[in-house]
Amino acid sequence: MIKGGYYIKARKIQNSEIANAPPHVREIWDWLIKEANHKEKKIHGNIFKRGELIRSYRDIQEGLHWMVGFRKEKYSKWQCEMAMKWLTKRQMITTTKTTRGMIITVCNYDYYQNPENYESHKGSHNKATTKPQGTDTINKNEKNAKNDKKKEEDKILLSQVDVSTLNDRDKKNYQVAISFWELVKSNLSELDIKSPATEKATYKLWVDPIRLLIEKDKRTIEEFREIFIFLQQDEFWKEQIRSTAKLRKKNKENITYFEVLLTKARNEQRKQKRSGNNQSGVSEDYRRSILERLRNPKNSETVKEG
């Protein structure tokens, strides 16, 4: 006999929304099912029903830690909070805060943890003895759940994003967006301009314009660098550009501000290059020798051009 009992995961989960959720969300969901009481239990003087558990974010972090050599790694509190919100939105769990932690209820625990409800139970291929509900926790109101997910993602702040959950393409777009966000904040602070909207920049509003500029408008990272450097220096445009969305907007001449800034940046580069070169092509010593000869042509020594 295997000690510790068991818990069940339905294969239909493969076709559900949780199957494509970020890894930490899937793992926390699995951990909650595993940790939930399989029968009524008394804890801290309180009765907890089947499918319930009381845990803190620290418990989740410690329960799911992993080792990299001798170093312990674990999910951040923010990742745990976002996972719990994700699961709550989709009616997969409910939570109640207490002084000892959260009372977490895994919805429909009885239904999914009852072996009698599975077709292959005891080698039989008969239908489940209990008629499945018309809707279940995983697929219930799938359309509404997707809308809720989109609304939730739209509210994620740029500063809260966990880069490890992004794929390579999104990571590149995010890195460009976060660089411009830091630049805009620095420029506005320098000009003593307060902008709550900039401080509360969301991932969607700042990363989407970068993605469109790269994928649709075919702009390059090098062009972004040129504009970035220009916006560090130009006093007028420091105040004008307060978001990445402005880069894709068009002016009265129907030209995007990205193109306007890139043109100005390159013009400025040419000016600096010209000013950095000696336009006359002669050394300072040679100039002084010419002036000296003009003052005293007979006594001055000739200095060779160099």
Distance CA 255, CA 243 (A): 17
Task: Give the CA distances from residue 133 to residues 46, 73, 88, 117, 197, in Å, rounded to whole numbers and listed in that order.
Answer: 31, 40, 20, 11, 45
Distance CA 83, CA 229 (A): 38
Which residues, at least 6 apart from 103, have a Cβ–Cβ distance to it below 8 Å?
48, 52, 53, 54, 95, 96, 97
pLDDT tens readout for residues 80-104: 999 999 999 999 999 998 888 899 9
pLDDT tens readout for residues 241-265: 999 999 999 999 999 999 999 999 9
CA–CA–CA angle 219, 223, 226 (5° rounding):
160
Contact status, residue 50 vs residue 110, Cβ threshold 8 Å = yes
Q: List, in order of start, the domains of the chain with CATH numbers.
A: 11-154 (1.10.10.10), 163-276 (no CATH)
Q: State residue 2's pLDDT score.
A: 82
Three-class SS of residue 68?
Answer: strand
Would the pTM of this model clear 0.75, i.e. be above it?
no
Evaluate if residue 18 carries a pLDDT over 70: yes
Distance CA 203, CA 201 (A): 7
